[in-house]
Amino acid sequence: MRHCLISTSHPIRRYHDNMKRILTALVLSISILFVSGGFVFAQDFLKGVEAWEKGDFATALREWSALAEQGNTLAQFSLGWLYEDGRGVTQNHKEAVKWYRKAAEQGYEDAQFNLGLMYSQGKGVLQDYKEAVKWYRKAAEQGFEDAQFNLGVMYMNGQGVLQNNIYAYIWVNIAASSGNAGRVKIRDIIAKKMKSADIFKAQKLARECVKKNYKGC
C-alpha cells in the first residue's frame, strides 16, 4: 500500500491565521535590509496579502506579478500558487512550476516543497520522482516538516529512491516530533515493518540528523 503525500503548501495554509502577522514581519525585515525602495516593496506586497484575504485574487495577482519579476521570492511563490490553483487567473500548472522554480532556486523552502509536489504529481511537468525527492530534500534540510514527511514517504514507497524503511522512519519520525497524529500513525506503520535493532538505529540517526540541522542525513 502506498501512502499519500502532504499536499500543496501556500501562504494561508502554512501560516493560517498568523499569515499576515508573519508576512508583515518578513517584509518589514526586508525593508530594513533594503532601505532604498524596501518600504515600497513591503507596502506593495501587503496590498496583495490584503487583497488575497478579501478573496480578490486578481488584485493579488497584479500586485505580486511586478514584485515576482523583480526576483522577490515571496511574490514568486505566491504567484505560483495563484497559477496552480487558478485564483485570479486561468489555471496554468506550467506557469505555476515556472514561478515555484524561480523561488525554489533562491532557497525558499515553501517553493521547494511545492515544486517537489508538482514533480510527484506530474503537474506542469513530466512526473519525475527523483526530481521530487531532490526538492523535498532541499526543503527538508531547512527544517520544513511537510517536506520531511513527504521525503520519508518517498523512501517508504520507494519512489525516486531505493525503498528504505530506516530512512523512511528517520524523516517521518522527525516530521512527527511536533505531535501530528497522522505522521505518528505513518511512523508506526513503518516501524511495524522493521526489526527492533533497525528501529533503534533509525531513532539514533534521527537524533543525529536534528543535531546536524537536517544536513547530510
Q: What is the pLDDT of residues 99-141, one digit of tens each?
A: 999 999 999 999 999 999 999 999 999 999 999 999 999 999 9
Q: What is the pLDDT of residues 131-173, one digit of tens each?
A: 999 999 999 999 999 999 999 999 999 999 999 999 999 999 9
Whether 203 shows a pLDDT value over 50: the answer reads yes
pLDDT band at 39 (very low <50, low <70, confident <90, very high): low
The pLDDT of residue 45: 82
Q: Which residues, other chains included, contact 68 with Cβ-Cβ below 8 Å and sequence gap of 6+?
A: 75, 76, 78, 79, 99, 102
Contact 206, 169 (CB under 8 A): yes
Full set of structural domains in the chain with CATH: 10-127 (1.25.40.10), 143-217 (no CATH)
Whether 17 shows a pLDDT value over 80: the answer reads no
pLDDT band at 5 (very low <50, low <70, confident <90, very high): low
Picking from 170, 167, 175, the residue whose alpha carbon sits closest to that of residue 139 is 175
